[in-house]
Structure 1
């Protein structure tokens, strides 16, 4: 009997030690942020000291991509490690009353990590569906806790809302004829409309409490922070309003950076900073139509809504003191690679489905070349008829189709806003190593072998792509839009909100 007790005691100790040694993960996801928007990526007037500090002490990616130039599909791919076409998150994005959402049979990175005993939380923008009775909310997709707006904060009338103190109304009108944006706590509405001036304060307090609770419980944790900054309309509280030389966009970016700083401070205070991998990137390129109220793609072509580089190449930073050595990598990488990388580091099993991501461990820990040699560019509205619009192979990118977008109108480059779909045969070909702005088409016969190689890669990939049923095509039922008051109008009085759990 004594021997059995000793065995059980050792087993408990071993399990506790194994649990304590697992790395924590913090995934930071900006909204509509351009490649050239951060100070550490070259912007002269953005004040992002905390993200710059992560870049200086971590690994900065020059060639990191997302899978879509708009929000919902990009977020689906990030969380599942699969192209959005497989899960049916196309065409476009979800709205407050959308019938569909991220299918529950898709496995998110939160569900992968929960299998290893992780505490999981999301704070911020979900945008992967609400659905009947909240069936598609994060708490049904592997997250223990949620605080946030379940879709874009412009998907509701905002002209009467305050975006900057003391009483500066939001710039623009946002979507009309739908409910004002709610702030959800798990699956209950905490406030409607959300208070933009206090939003980041609530988010940082939620994130700190989640980290504190996990550490106190000796539990590894995964915190996903998909910020609303710097999506239109910009907003910022009293601590950041008017503090950036870049105007409202700069203030919003600075406030996001401030929340990152508070998360870092909590990790340091709880003594887990050296056991936490922090990964930062964004969901798609900047909304150039907003001009100074939108982002900046730097030297890249076009922005949000397009399959040019400015629409889908994002700033990215990996930070893990003592494990990731500071530097810059030109390794090709994608948001698809986050799930397999986190799974590998946590010792978790991968989902038994077709994954499109690669494990980035060798890039992060050893600065080795990437296993990934290709990036496939899907448009906002992909179809089996057209397939991928462009393919990057090593340093070369071939455009089979190009199309501008309203999101990217307002620049002097007509390619960014020209809406007709253009078919290119032979494809446009660019060397992104020498020409990241996609200025100079390599249209001579000497590049035929490169185009043949890319064509073979494209055909092989498309033969393996099975399009899932479109969740967004399931339509909209306005009765599904979250609202505090039954039978509410587009401007609900939120007097019967359920208290936060």
Structure 2
């Protein structure tokens, strides 16, 4: 009887909220590991606002990105499709890349625009700039954009200040490229970017956007793919030196402060009870940076690999009065964000092959996931090799394994850049519920139940790969230095003259 009452109360609250079109805030951390947040077990991370979201929302333990590097992961998040379909492979896009997220791909923003949503993006786009800015967010459904259109290490940084009063950035970054620009919509506002005041600019942009939308009673979608905690870390005076984890912790704290400002604005404008806030990360930690690269907790390896540490991410969904606080062990993915938002907004889905499923049942009723399978592609997917790994239920099968530069320096030699590609036939199979660290492959010999699982895994793999149509590789179109964003395009000599 109590369960029945609870269900009807939850359903009533859910549909009451939907009487007003819901708002959406999508927070996407950069290179943040499964073990980097206090709410996921890190003993010294200072993230009070994210911890409050986790305590008052739904925390996922089995949430996956689709690629262990940036650009393809972002493409999947925004389109609900594996990166192989949109062509965002192999690797990532660069400042002068000719390609980008194809304009015929439909983003979350483009799903919501027909319903009258105000849409804004800020932070790290990393889905292409292209000739005349043809791939920027404003060409992909976003009304406004403030940010760096690619990764903030893709430009010389050694002479820039990353921490006050004048602590230079750690490392060299990409020498020989134009300095990193800050863009507003399609115009370069600042070059090189001022790291010390960047997060304050983002916070002001976001709070202004939320307040303006609320005042007009217009539903809104804010997408914030943060640069934190990607190398080189940076932070302004409100966070620098205030964490317990050094530069990495300071950067994480600054990101957390911005989240706190967003939540305060939602409360002040009276729209917090009609807003879904969803937080996750693009891929696992860059372990090659050691203590400055993040932490994958109990998971194996990190960025660049298809082990759990590279692909399983922290994720939190927060919506007061609609999402009950708790923890879910249901499997879900960044692929599922677009279909879920479309369902909650009662928007039309794109008329293409989607790989995501609707998570509403998990969010609203803490029910079962529609996702039974997760596919794992490497940073350089190909038809020849196909999937590197596949998770079915609690079992994960590795068909290929290899290490990665991004995960080097760890004691586990499986993560090392010197650990070459290795095929496994039969595949290595792990029980991720009993062994999330992927240490103990299960023996097939004398285990008929596991043999049946393997047969099902191979069947699912075959069906999926037969349905996969690889889009034209956008990264393989190459780069042109003339496409690198420059606020003074006629100046000479480049790239050093691109300053404003």
Q: State the TM-score, normalizing by the size of structure 1.
A: 0.94
Q: Say which SS state the counterpart of residue 331 (structure 1) adopts.
A: strand
Find the counterpart in structure 2 of residue 491 from structure 1: 496
| Residues matched between the structures, number | 479
Q: Say which SS state the counterpart of residue 330 (structure 1) adopts.
A: strand
Find the counterpart in structure 1 of residue 463 from structure 2: 460
Regions of 4+ moved over 2 Å: 17-20, 490-495
CA-to-aligned-CA distance 1:201-251 (integer Å, 9 cap, x gap): 000000011111111111000000000000000000001100011000000
- C-alpha distance in 2 between matches for 1:126 and 1:208: 19
Q: How does 1:186-201 map to 2 (within 5 A)?
A: 186-201=185-200
How far residue 174 of structure 1 moved from its aligned partner, in angstroms, is 0.3
Find the counterpart in structure 1 of residue 5 from structure 2: none
Q: How does 1:67-146 map to 2 (within 5 A)?
A: 67-146=66-145
- C-alpha distance in 2 between matches for 1:292 and 1:36: 13
CA-to-aligned-CA distance 1:74-112 (integer Å, 9 cap, x gap): 000000000000000000000000000000000000000
How far residue 491 of structure 1 moved from its aligned partner, in angstroms, is 2.5
Q: Say which SS state the counterpart of residue 314 (structure 1) adopts.
A: strand
- C-alpha distance in 2 between matches for 1:475 and 1:114: 32
Aligned-pair RMSD on alpha carbons?
1.2
Q: How does 1:242-261 map to 2 (within 5 A)?
A: 242-261=241-260
CA-to-aligned-CA distance 1:338-366 (integer Å, 9 cap, x gap): 00000000000000000000000000000
Find the counterpart in structure 2 of residue 62 from structure 1: 61
Find the counterpart in structure 2 of residue 7 from structure 1: none
CA-to-aligned-CA distance 1:167-219 (integer Å, 9 cap, x gap): 00000000111100000000000000000000000000000111111111110
Find the counterpart in structure 1 of residue 8 from structure 2: none
Find the counterpart in structure 2 of residue 156 from structure 1: 155
How far residue 487 of structure 1 moved from its aligned partner, in angstroms, is 4.1
- C-alpha distance in 2 between matches for 1:19 and 1:492: 52
Find the counterpart in structure 1 of residue 405 from structure 2: 406
Q: Say which SS state the counterpart of residue 391 (structure 2) adopts.
A: strand
Q: Say which SS state the counterpart of residue 280 (structure 1) adopts.
A: strand
Q: How does 1:38-437 map to 2 (within 5 A)?
A: 38-417=37-416, 418-437=418-437
- C-alpha distance in 1 between matches for 2:192 and 2:241: 24
Q: Say which SS state the counterpart of residue 62 (structure 1) adopts.
A: strand
How far residue 490 of structure 1 moved from its aligned partner, in angstroms, is 2.3
- C-alpha distance in 1 between matches for 2:420 and 2:87: 25
- C-alpha distance in 2 between matches for 1:254 and 1:402: 34
Residue 448 and residue 18 in structure 1: after superposition, are their counterparts in 2 closer, same or farther (change >3 A)?
closer
Segments of structure 1 that go 5 or more residues without pairing to the other structure are 1-16, 496-501
Q: Say which SS state the counterpart of residue 330 (structure 2) adopts.
A: coil
Find the counterpart in structure 1 of residue 12 from structure 2: none
Q: Is residue 2:442 matched to residue 1:442? A: yes
- C-alpha distance in 2 between matches for 1:258 and 1:360: 28
Find the counterpart in structure 2 of residue 3 from structure 1: none
- C-alpha distance in 1 between matches for 2:265 and 2:17: 23
Q: State the TM-score, normalizing by the size of structure 2.
A: 0.95
8 Å Cα contact 1:19-1:219 kept in structure 2: no
CA-to-aligned-CA distance 1:438-486 (integer Å, 9 cap, x gap): 0000023212111111010100100100000000000000000001112
How far residue 19 of structure 1 moved from its aligned partner, in angstroms, is 9.8
8 Å Cα contact 1:100-1:475 kept in structure 2: yes
- C-alpha distance in 1 between matches for 2:314 and 2:186: 32
8 Å Cα contact 2:152-2:180 kept in structure 1: yes
8 Å Cα contact 2:81-2:355 kept in structure 1: yes
- C-alpha distance in 2 between matches for 1:91 and 1:471: 8
CA-to-aligned-CA distance 1:33-86 (integer Å, 9 cap, x gap): 000000100000100000000000000000000000000000000000000000
8 Å Cα contact 1:20-1:218 kept in structure 2: no
8 Å Cα contact 1:33-1:282 kept in structure 2: yes
Pairing partner for 1:479 from 463, 475, 482: 482
- C-alpha distance in 2 between matches for 1:340 and 1:467: 21
- C-alpha distance in 1 between matches for 2:19 and 2:254: 32
Residue 158 and residue 81 in structure 1: after superposition, are their counterparts in 2 closer, same or farther (change >3 A)?
same
Find the counterpart in structure 2 of residue 14 from structure 1: none
8 Å Cα contact 2:489-2:498 kept in structure 1: no
8 Å Cα contact 1:60-1:329 kept in structure 2: yes
